[in-house]
Amino acid sequence: MKDMPLGLRYPHQTPPDEGCVTEIAEGVLWARLPLPMALDHVNVYALDEGDHWTIFDTGLDKTRTRGIWAKLLAGPLRGKPVGRVIASHHHPDHIGLAGWFQAGGASLWTSRTAWLFARMLVLDAQETPLPETLEFWRRAGMDAELFASRAASRPFNFCDVVAPLPLGFHRLEEGGVIRAAGRDWDVLLGQGHAPDQVTLWSRDCPLVLGADQLLPGISPNLGVYATEPEADPVAEWLASCARFQQIAREDHLVLPGHKLPFTGLPLRLHQKIENHHGALRRLVDHLIEPRRASECFAPLFKRAITEDTYGLALVESLAHLNHLVAQGQASRRAGPDGVWLWQAI
Give me the domains of the chain, ranges plus CATH numbers: 22-125+155-285 (3.60.15.10)
pLDDT at 302: 86
pLDDT at 3: 52
Distance CA 85, CA 110 (A): 8
42 near 258, Cβ under 8 Å? Answer: yes
Q: CB-based contacts of 73: which residues, under 8 Å, 6+ apart?
A: 79, 80, 81, 82
pLDDT at 1: 34
pLDDT at 4: 52
Distance CA 94, CA 265 (A): 22
pLDDT at 38: 87
Q: CB-based contacts of 228: which residues, under 8 Å, 6+ apart?
A: none
99 near 163, Cβ under 8 Å? Answer: yes
pLDDT at 2: 46
Q: Could you list the mean pLDDT of each consecutive 10-residue stretch along the chain, which spans 345 residues?
A: 69 97 98 95 98 98 98 97 98 98 98 98 95 96 95 95 97 98 98 98 97 96 96 98 98 98 98 97 98 96 89 97 98 96 97
pLDDT at 28: 98
Distance CA 249, CA 269 (A): 11
